[in-house]
Structure 1
Amino acid sequence: MGAVGEPVVSVVIAAHDEEAVIARCLRSLTSGAKPGELDIIVVANACSDRTAQIARAERARVVETPIAGKAHALSLGDAECRTFPRLYLDADVDLDVTSLRRMLTAIDRGALACSPVPQYDLQGVSGVAARFHRVFDRLLAGRRGLSGTGAYMLSKEGHGRVFPLPEVISDDGYVHRSFSASERRSVEDARSVVRPARTVGAVIRRRARVRLGNRELERLGRKADEPALGMGQLMTLVRQRQIGVLDALCFLIVLLADKVVARGRRMRGTDAAWSADRSSR
């Protein structure tokens, strides 16, 4: 994995007003890391808080830009990277160095892209929102990809397929759809701690962005290579008693609501507007 003192992986973290979580993210990543093992760049984009100062205090390299937007921030950080592979990490997600090294192993074994398995932290999440997240987690079991995990890693070859990254709503969805199932890997023994939307309203808004992001990817020619989730899978979980009827009902209500919200945003012409969910901070 390289000599001591040489970075073995570059890490890019796009951060917009993340002073509440950026130190936790960086400490989780660097605890137990060897000196110089990680080349970490935090891109503080359009921040009005102390994100940049806190990241510097945690010994990350910091790039500041007045332009808000995750894709733009990731591209700025990518230009500062010193090595390959490269990890792109959300500022509100915790990934420890052990999981990072397991992802490196997957890249070393030939994966062009890989991600950890998300572990949802449901502390402070409302009852209906928690039911939605649990059902969604069960539905995705066995078919996880690079999106929704808060972290993905690219080999040098994989990076060449994705960058320069276009201005898209869903960067992780774009990355996921840039690789076939045989080229990407979900690393089962790597974990990212993801803090999902805490309220029903926040879940609906976030899911509407996902829906709009997927439509955008379709327009860009990045089509999904796996079938969409359907009622059949949901009813199977109910019959197997992995989820309850009330769980399934809450899940369906949220899906219906996010579809309505997404349609409204398209009609208003705000479907491509950049935004960040603050409820999980």
Structure 2
Amino acid sequence: MDPIASVVIPAHNEETVIGAGLSALLGAAAPGEFDVVVVANACADGTAAVARAAGVRVIETPVGGKANALRLGDAACRTFPRIYLDADVELTTGSARALVAALARPGVLACAPVPVLDLGAVGWAARRVHRVHDLMVGPTRVLAGAGVYALGELGHVRAFPLPDVLSDDGWVHASFAGGERVPVQEATSLVRPAPTVAAYLRRRIRVRLGNRQLAALGRPVTRTGLRLSAVGDLVRRGRVSPLDALCYLTVLVLDRALTAFRRPARASWGTTRK
């Protein structure tokens, strides 16, 4: 059968997780339903071998960097629409089909699933921070933060070729107006967030620097700014505990302080699980 979509998976030293991700994506798929390209970039482990064993196409490059890997995979795609999937994120066959269906709706150029956080390996403090952060950014994230986004052919023209940016999902998100990009409620992605506060801070620094870089390139990620009263509202409504809020606000202060002394050139894309 002809594939209903191409899927690009950039992977840097993801041997331990990419097998599960490919199993989730292809587990209920018909043979040939998805055209999957894994781009193993600057890997020092068995990422490429695990991907090949799953029966997908693999591109290996000694050049590191997610943006370059996405461009290589994109150039090898055989069809539209296209799904761009982080190697450590799980997207089921059904959710991938739901993304493809959403892109067939009039006016929809880009879409993403609703992320579900896997907090099983996350420490108690980081768990509290993630709980508040997810509630704060959830209503406005759309294409950013789900570990997956999908583009139709017209949307692809808007977002690609992808420049060398720290935040690829931020770039794609900022490439569309509100009605052109939609969250797909019928689709979910399983996201493994940073397991420690230190890892969370490293990721947040990259996010903030990435957003600063996008603004300099003329594609700012427009989101509602943080209101401290919103954290208080979550506490008053019983959505989070006072200790959750205290952990989140403490880490937020550290996040902003650390970011103030960093420049985008000093941040790099990589895993957040360490």
- The Cα of 1:274 is off from its aligned counterpart by 1.8
**2:25–2:90: 8 Å Cα contact kept in structure 1?**
yes
Match of 2:218, SS state, is: coil
Is residue 2:150 matched to residue 1:162? Answer: no
- The Cα of 1:278 is off from its aligned counterpart by 4.7
Q: Which residue of 2 aligns with 1:232?
A: 229
Match of 1:182, SS state, is: helix
Question: Pairwise mapping of residues 3-14 of structure 1 onto structure 2 (< 5 A)?
Answer: 5-14=1-10
**2:9–2:39: 8 Å Cα contact kept in structure 1?**
yes
Q: Which of the residues 90, 94, 113 maps onto 1:98?
A: 94
Match of 1:18, SS state, is: coil
Q: Which of the residues 18, 31, 42 maps onto 1:22?
A: 18
Deviations 1:100-155 (A, max 9, x none): 11111110013100000000000110111000111111123433310100000000
Q: Which residue of 2 aligns with 1:200?
A: 197
**2:122–2:194: 8 Å Cα contact kept in structure 1?**
yes
Q: Which residue of 1 aligns with 2:182?
A: 185
Q: Which residue of 1 aligns with 2:271?
A: 277
Q: Which of the residues 28, 39, 59 maps onto 1:63?
A: 59
TM-score, length basis structure 2: 0.96
- The Cα of 1:8 is off from its aligned counterpart by 0.8
- The Cα of 1:180 is off from its aligned counterpart by 0.8
The percentage of aligned residue pairs carrying the same residue is 51
Match of 2:139, SS state, is: coil
Once residues 50 and 139 of structure 2 are traced to their aligned partners in structure 1, the CA distance between those partners, rounded to angstroms, is 38
**2:193–2:272: 8 Å Cα contact kept in structure 1?**
no
Residue type at the aligned position of 1:17: N
Once residues 199 and 87 of structure 2 are traced to their aligned partners in structure 1, the CA distance between those partners, rounded to angstroms, is 18
Q: Which residue of 2 aligns with 1:149?
A: 146
Q: CA RMSD in A?
A: 1.2
- The Cα of 1:244 is off from its aligned counterpart by 1.3
Once residues 224 and 141 of structure 1 are traced to their aligned partners in structure 2, the CA distance between those partners, rounded to angstroms, is 14
Residue type at the aligned position of 2:218: G
Once residues 98 and 160 of structure 2 are traced to their aligned partners in structure 1, the CA distance between those partners, rounded to angstroms, is 24
Residue type at the aligned position of 1:193: L
**1:180–1:225: 8 Å Cα contact kept in structure 2?**
no
Deviations 1:40-80 (A, max 9, x none): 00000001111111101101100010000000000000000
Residue type at the aligned position of 2:205: A
TM-score, length basis structure 1: 0.94
Q: Which of the residues 258, 263, 271 maps onto 2:260?
A: 263
**2:128–2:248: 8 Å Cα contact kept in structure 1?**
yes
Deviations 1:18-48 (A, max 9, x none): 1001111101000110111100000000011
Residue type at the aligned position of 1:149: A
Structure 2 residues without counterparts, runs of 5 or longer:
none
- The Cα of 1:191 is off from its aligned counterpart by 0.5
Residue type at the aligned position of 1:100: A
Name the CA shift for 1:83/1:272 in 2 (closer, same or farther; >3 Å). Answer: farther
Match of 2:141, SS state, is: coil
Q: Which residue of 2 aligns with 1:89?
A: 85
Once residues 261 and 200 of structure 1 are traced to their aligned partners in structure 2, the CA distance between those partners, rounded to angstroms, is 13
Residue type at the aligned position of 1:239: R
Once residues 117 and 278 of structure 1 are traced to their aligned partners in structure 2, the CA distance between those partners, rounded to angstroms, is 19
Q: Which residue of 1 aligns with 2:217?
A: 220
Question: Pairwise mapping of residues 25-44 of structure 1 onto structure 2 (< 5 A)?
Answer: 25-44=21-40
Deviations 1:242-266 (A, max 9, x none): 1111111111111111122222323
Q: Which residue of 1 aligns with 2:238?
A: 241
